[in-house]
Amino acid sequence: MSTTVTNVILAGLGGQGVIKASDILADAAVRAGFDVKKAEVHGMSQRGGSVTSDVRFGVKVLSPMIPRGEADFLVVLSPSEVVVTRPLLRPGGVLFAPDFVPEAELVNKRSLNVALLGALSAYLDIPERIFLEAVRAALAERLHAVNEQAFQQGRARAAKAGAAALGKRQ
Interacting residues with other proteins (CB under 8 A): 11, 13-14, 26-27, 30, 35-50, 52, 61-65, 67-70, 80-81, 84-85, 87-88
**Minimum distance from CB of 68 to other proteins (Å)?**
5
Q: Name the residue nearer to other proteins (CB basis): 63 or 170.
A: 63
**Minimum distance from CB of 106 to other proteins (Å)?**
23
Task: Show Cβ contacts of residue 37 under 8 Å, excluding neighbours closer than 6 positions.
Answer: 55, 56, 57, 61, 63, 64
Nearest-angstrom CA–CA distance, 168 and 57 = 23
**Minimum distance from CB of 61 to other proteins (Å)?**
8
Among 70, 114, 110, which residue's Cα sits nearest to residue 96? Answer: 114
Q: Name the residue nearer to other proteins (CB basis): 43 or 167.
A: 43
What φ, ψ does residue 110 adopt, rounded to 5°?
-70, -10
Q: Name the residue nearer to other proteins (CB basis): 63 or 108.
A: 63
- For the chain, the 3-state helix, strand and coil shares in percent, each to the nearest 5, are 50, 20, 30
**Minimum distance from CB of 161 to other proteins (Å)?**
27
Q: Name the residue nearer to other proteins (CB basis): 85 or 153.
A: 85
Task: Show Cβ contacts of residue 137 under 8 Å, excluding neighbours closer than 6 positions.
Answer: 27
